[in-house]
Every structure is written in structure tokens, then in C-alpha cells.
Amino acid sequence: MFNSSTWFREWFNSPYYHKLYFEHDEKEAFAFISRLLNTLGPPENAKLLDVACGRGRHSKLLAAKGFDVTGIDLAPASIAIAQAQENGHLHFYEHDMRLPFWINYFDYAFNFFTSFGYFRTEREHYNAIRTISNALKPKGIVVIDYLNVHYAEDHLVHKHEKVIDDVRYYLTKWYDETHFYKKIEIEDERLEAPLEYTERVAKFSLGDFNDMFAFYGLQLKEVYGDYLLNPYDIKNSPRMIMFAQKTN
């Protein structure tokens, strides 16, 4: 798994991924979405794109606010679950963010919870930004929620263990000059053997994102440092929540 350039296809499609990360903080997610929308102030008829939407967790929260929301993700099992919750203003498609999607259609695009930085090459990451930029209308806004590399290095917990619904997760983290890594070992008595996945996330700085944005006609407007939308501090902020606007 460690050497695979497409490890995320299997891991993001696993029910264990969603158990580990998403099922126990709905209140926090709702508060963040509410705060984000209050800051952005989208009009009632705004069309929103959720890039790498998973099972549609954030998409549903956005749609609950009355907006027309489209979610895309490359994990078929996740999209199948999301599509079961579709309605007149909530839509989901299986789609790889590296490939073009709709053009000049959305007023806002969102990429939550470090759902970026997983690809093997720089070109693939640039392609994902291209997809987002092209999908936005002129003057449209993208919000990317990414880890803060400097904070993550300083606060790395190398070994951690969690038990969720009688399943035990052993987490081992490390990093090198270009990436963060996390090995997840899963012990579930219902499985014949333990499972193992290794995440790999690029150590993109604010400057790296600025370069990618500028290449595809996006201008960085605001950077926040956490889910309370406090100001970004390079050493003390756990997140980089970036607002960028399409310049034409």
C-alpha cells in the first residue's frame, strides 16, 4: 500500500475510513459550515461544488442551508451512499477531481478536511486546481481546508491507538522533506486478518497553494487558521483555510 500511487482509491472507499474520521463530530462540522457560510455570504440561488465529498457529509450540511449543492468523489462506495440521499438541490457524481468537470457553472467550490495532496505528481495536483478553477463562474470563490505543515510537524503524535465500535485502530505517523505519512492498522474480529493502509499527504505550504492558484487564475483572498476562522498563524494554527477568487 505504501508504494501505491493510488492508495487513496481503496482507503477512501473503505467503511473504516469513515468510522475513523467522520462519524463522531457532526456538531463541530455543522458549526464550521454555518460559520463559513456566514463569512462568505453566498446569495440564496448560489450553486456550490463539494470536491472530494466522500459520503456527502459536508454537502448535506450545505444543502440544508438551502443551496443547490453538487458533490464529486472518486470512491464509488461513498458516492453510492451519498446518492441515496439526493434531492432536488443535492446531487452526487462519481468523478476524479484531476479530470475536468462542469465549466463556469458554480459560484463556490469547497475542498474540506485535507482532501487534497494525495496524488503522486505535482502535475496531478495542478490538474485538480484546474478542474476547480474551470468549474467556477468568473469571480467565483474556492475554499480549501488543508493542514498547516509547520504546525503538523511540531505537534506530530507518532503513535496513537483508537477503539471505535469494537474495532481497534493503530496509527503511526512520520514525515520526510516532502510528505506526511500515516500508517493505519485495523483489527476487527469480523475480519480474517488485520487490514493496513498508509496515507501520504504532500507538505504544501501557503506559497505552494498560491502558486497553484495563480497558475489557473485564482487569487488568494483570505487565510484562516482553524475551524473557528481565527487568523492564520504560520506556527500556531492547525489549519490553512484558504479563500481564493477566480479573477475573470
**Annotated domain spans of the chain:** 7-148+204-246, 152-199
Tell me how far the alpha carbon of residue 193 is from its chain's centroid: 30
Place of cell 484562516: 224
> What CATH superfamily classification does 7-148+204-246 receive?
Vaccinia Virus protein VP39 (3.40.50.150)
So what's the pLDDT on residue 214?
Answer: 97
Strand partners, 198: 183
So what's the pLDDT on residue 23?
Answer: 59
So what's the pLDDT on residue 22?
Answer: 66
- The DSSP annotation for 145-180 comes to EEE-HHHHHHT--SEEEEEETTEEEEEEEEE-SSEE
Task: Give the predicted TM-score (pTM) of the model.
Answer: 0.91
Chain segment 175-197, per-residue pLDDT in tens: 999 999 999 999 999 989 999 99
So what's the pLDDT on residue 20?
Answer: 84
Q: One-letter amino acid identity for 167? A: V
Chain segment 140-172, per-residue pLDDT in tens: 999 999 999 999 999 998 999 999 989 999 999
Chain segment 40-55, per-residue pLDDT in tens: 999 999 999 999 999 9
What whole-number distance in Å separates Cα of residue 47 and Cα of residue 71? 11
pLDDT-flagged residues of the chain (< 50): 1-3
Cell, residue 245: 477568487
Tell me how crowded residue 122 is: count the other CB atoms within 10 A of its CB.
13
